[in-house]
Structure formats: C-alpha cells, structure tokens
Amino acid sequence: MSKNNSFSVTTASRYSLALYELSHEENSLEEVESHSNLFLKLIQESKDFNSLIKDPTNSIKDLNNVLSKIAETYNLNKLLIKFLSFLISKRRFFYVKIILQDFVNTCSKKRGEVKAELISSKELSGDQVNRIKDELSQNFNAKIKLDYKYDKGLIGGLIIQVGSIMVDTSIKNKLQQIQNTMIEA
C-alpha cells in the first residue's frame, strides 16, 4: 500500500511540475493557478463531481464531456483544459486533486510564500484575519499564505501554525493540559 501511495505522490508532483513549467512558459501562470483553485473548489463542493473523478469505470469520453461543460461554464484557461484532457486520456484523472493542490503549492513556494494555518474559536472578520496575516508576515519576515478556519470546538482562543511552529492559546488546549496534570498527580 505504501509503495502505491508513494507512486501516486511522485506521479502527482511530476505532473504538477510539468503544468507549472508549461504555464510559466506561456506567461499564464496566474490564470492557470486561479483556475486550478476554482477547479479544486468545485471538487470540494460537489460530491457528485468528486465521485465522478474517483470512479475508474467512467469512460474517457464521458470524462471529457464533463470537462468540456465545466470549461465552458467557468471559461477555464486553454492550457489547463488541455492538461486536464491529457490526464483523462492517460487515465490519471483520479490524481487531479493531488496534482492541482501540488501545483498551487508550487506556485506559492516560487513566490516565496510561507504557508500558515489559523484556527479560531469565533468567526473573525476579513479585516481581523488580514491583520493577523500582516503580523505573521512581519514576524517571520516572509509573505504568508494564510488558511483560516473557524472551529466551535475550541471554546476560546486561537491556534496558529506556521511551518513547524505552532502556537495554541485555545481554552480547549489549556483544559487538556490541566487534565493531564491532574492525571499525573
């Protein structure tokens, strides 16, 4: 199983790097990245589409028809359409989510961005998230690409992770530490 998983990650990174290089050569990197994010959002939001991608019994013709309709509806970049059609023809379309996520990550790394995650116990406004992002950018002296999530289960506080550095000020974490201390006593 691990060999198969390793193969899929290696394959996905090769395909995503090829997409990056082709997009860069055609000076359409920003548009391909934007449309890749749109395609990933579609996969995430549509269970039917996600199932269609993962179903190996779908014919190449059916997958290409679906891709054509999506490309027409969302006016996708021509290079991205060709790339996705190529994945379908090579029976690698089930890797599309991994490939496009790797592609977006590659674009981010090439711009010098550092990936960070913010989880809060209450919903933050866009302005609050931007201020936290700006503060992190100053502290880490890098462009920060911030993924924000709201989690009711935290009770109170924030969790911020930048690379391997994690700051957990949530009440849930503090209660867990108190519980561990009481168990050890």
Distance separating alpha carbons of residues 96 and 35, to the nearest angstrom: 13
Helix, strand and coil percent figures for the chain, each rounded to 5: 70, 15, 20
Whether 57 contacts 48, CB under 8 Å: no
Whether 119 contacts 86, CB under 8 Å: no
For the chain (length 185 residues), average pLDDT per consecutive 10?
58 92 96 96 93 91 95 95 96 92 92 88 90 88 87 85 83 82 82
Taking the whole predicted model, whether its pTM rises above 0.95 is answered as no
> Would you state the structure tokens that stand for residue 168, as one six-digit string?
């957990």
Distance separating alpha carbons of residues 184 and 74, to the nearest angstrom: 57
CB burial of residue 63 (10 Å; 0-12, 13-18, 19+): buried
> Would you state the structure tokens that stand for residue 171, as one six-digit string?
């009440």
For the chain, how big is the Rg over CA atoms in Å?
20
Go through the domains of the chain in sequence order and give each one's CATH number.
Answer: 2-109 (1.10.520.20), 113-184 (no CATH)
Side-chain-side CA neighbours of residue 12 (13 Å)? 20
Whether 147 contacts 109, CB under 8 Å: no
pLDDT of residue 51: 92
pLDDT of residue 5: 53
Strand 143-150 and strand 113-120: the pairing is: parallel
* 124 Cβ contact list (under 8 Å, min separation 6): 118, 132, 148, 150
pLDDT of residue 1: 42
